[in-house]
Structure 1
Amino acid sequence: MAEVKLNLQQEGPSAFEIIDEKGKAGEMVFDIQGSDLTVYHTEVEPDREGMGYAKLLLEAMVAYVRENKLMVIPLCPYVHLQFRRHEELYHDIWNKKNEN
């Protein structure tokens, strides 16, 4: 069973990492500046695609953001697409100040 772990870094980007029985299966790379969490990239290992791992990473990030009263800047194409498709789920944490 897959588990999401938070890997916070003082310097450089942090990540939510998904670990399964084979090891690290993917990650969502982000940085926090003030009250904004900027998501840069989400990636799942090719042999683990289609297993819902990206969604688990998204859910972990959203829970963390809400718990810590942050706002999300979704630069990652996957996260941005999910926010646009399901705006009703994420409108409270979506920082649209930098949207075009």
Structure 2
Amino acid sequence: MDPHVLHNPELSRYELWLGEEKIGHADYVFVGDEMQFPHTEVDPAHQGKNYAAILMREAFADVREKNLGKVWPVCPYVVTYMKRHPETHDLLARELN
């Protein structure tokens, strides 16, 4: 079974699903025209399977496709993901530290 990502704008987050089970999410908040990602989480039972990377890849694809704004990575995982994936740098609102 492959994971899939759904945008849940009512809760301001992207959700990671495996079948009918929600196994993770990435929260966001808009600060002006920037989309801040303060928290990302994957259920401990599903960690170590690259699911967080899938979550962020799909979330950023949606941000880009819908032109939702520039990304301000606050969550340490999101910062690390963006450092490892230069193809996301066009979404950056500010430089990575």
Ranges of 4+ aligned residues in structure 1 off by more than 6 Å: none
Runs of at least 5 residues in structure 1 that lack an aligned partner in the other structure: none
2:26 is aligned with 1:28: yes
Q: How does 1:1-100 map to 2 (within 5 A)?
A: 1-9=2-10, 14-21=12-19, 23-69=21-67, 70-86=69-85, 88-96=86-94
Q: Percent identity?
A: 33
> Which whole-Å CA distance do the structure 1 matches of 2:63 and 2:18 have between them?
23
The superposition leaves residues 51-88 of structure 1 with CA deviations (integer Å, 9 ceiling, x where unpaired) of 121011101111122112210000011011122233x3
Given that residues 53 and 81 in structure 2 are in contact (C-alpha distance below 8 angstroms), is that contact kept between their aligned partners in structure 1?
A: no
TM-score w.r.t. structure 2 length? Answer: 0.84
SS state at 1:19 partner: strand
Task: Provide the rounded CA distance (Å) in 1 between the counterparts of 2:14 and 2:21.
Answer: 14
DSSP 3-state at the match of 1:28:
strand
Under a length normalisation based on structure 1, what TM-score does the superposition of the two structures give? 0.82
- Residue segments in structure 2 that go unaligned for 5+ positions in a row: none
- Count, aligned residues: 95
- Work out the CA distance in 2 between the residues paired with 1:51 and 1:36: 30
Give 1 or 2: higher helix fraction. 2
RMSD: 1.9
